[in-house]
Amino acid sequence: MCKFATQIYRNVMIKNIVFDFGGVLVQYDYMTFFMRVMKSEDQVKKMLTQALTQEVSDEMDKADHSFRYYIDRQEQRYPQYKDVLEYFDSHFVELITGETEGMRELMLELKALGYRLLGLSNWSEKVDDVMAKFSIFELLEGWLISKDVHQLKPHADIYESFCKKFDVKPADCLFLDDKPANIEGAKKVGMEGIVFKDVPSLRVELERMGIMNHHCE
């Protein structure tokens, strides 16, 4: 019996499959979510370029302050969006449309092959509600989330914190993320990486790498 299934790829022994959360384990839809409280897609797009920009989202995920702190600050800056921001705060978990199709089955296969399944995600404190609602997260042995370490992908420090927390070597990890920049960040610290698009495409890539072909004896 072997303790971990490992596969040699580019002279690397992959033992750990590391999953991003949003866009990989679960899916989200900002437009549908905000259209419940706004009148048009153009209004939603305008709001996302003002009150809830990527920069603001990153601040929430890094969590140097509470999620509520950033909501209050943005309401002060953009009072015209106060009701929208309140809805975002109180109904956040409804932003998530569901688990990624086929991902649960793939994770169970990888787990059965002996790979260690771990999580690494940029997310705010709202992630706790999401993880409580969707049981796919129970398939992970553990995780590191940006809000807990006040670090963000694609910066090197969060990948280093991840490796330290789980006592793993970067070269032993295959990271899956839907954002190319985060995969580049992982590769810079020595991890392997795949930009996630959908489960069928991921399966093809895992099979090409030999990940799905290894069995413990």
DSSP assignment of 161-190, as one string? Answer: HHHHHHT--GGGEEEEES-HHHHHHHHHTT
What's the mean pLDDT in 96-109? 98
pLDDT tens digit string along 105-150? 999 999 999 999 999 999 999 999 999 999 999 999 999 999 999 9
Mean pLDDT of 87-100: 98
Query: What whole-number percentage of the chain has pLDDT above 90?
Result: 91
Whether the predicted pLDDT of 6 surpasses 90: no
Q: How far is CA 29 from CA 19, 95, 108, in A?
A: 19, 6, 26
Q: CA 67, 70, 75 angle in degrees (round to 5)?
A: 130
**Token couple for 9:** 């790829």
Q: How far is CA 50 from CA 46, 53, 73, in A?
A: 6, 6, 13
Q: Is the pLDDT of residue 18 over 50?
A: yes
Q: Is the pLDDT of residue 195 over 60?
A: yes
CA–CA dist 57, 122 (Å, integer): 10
The predicted model scores a pTM of 0.93
Residue with tokens 């601040």: 59
As a whole number of angstroms, the distance between CA 64 and CA 184 comes to: 25
Q: pLDDT band at residue 3, thresholds of 50, 70 and 90?
A: very low
Residue 216: the pLDDT is 31
- Looking at residues 52-66, what average pLDDT do you find? 98
DSSP state of 100: P
pLDDT at 213: 79
pLDDT band at 214; cut points 50, 70, 90: low
Mean pLDDT of 56-81: 98
204-216 average pLDDT score: 82
pLDDT of residue 13: 85
Count of CB atoms situated within 10 Å of the CB of 201: 12
Q: Does residue 11 have a pLDDT over 90?
A: no
170 residue type, one letter: P
Task: List the domain boundaries for the chain.
Answer: 7-25+100-213, 30-95
Question: What is the model's pLDDT at position 63?
Answer: 98
Name which CATH class applies to 7-25+100-213: alpha beta
Pairing of strands 192-195, 173-177: parallel
Residue 14 has pLDDT above 80, yes or no: yes
Write down the H helix ranges in the chain. Answer: 30-34, 41-48, 54-62, 67-77, 82-90, 103-112, 127-133, 146-149, 156-166, 180-188, 199-209
Residue 157 and residue 154: Cα distance in Å, rounded?
9
- 1-9: average pLDDT: 44
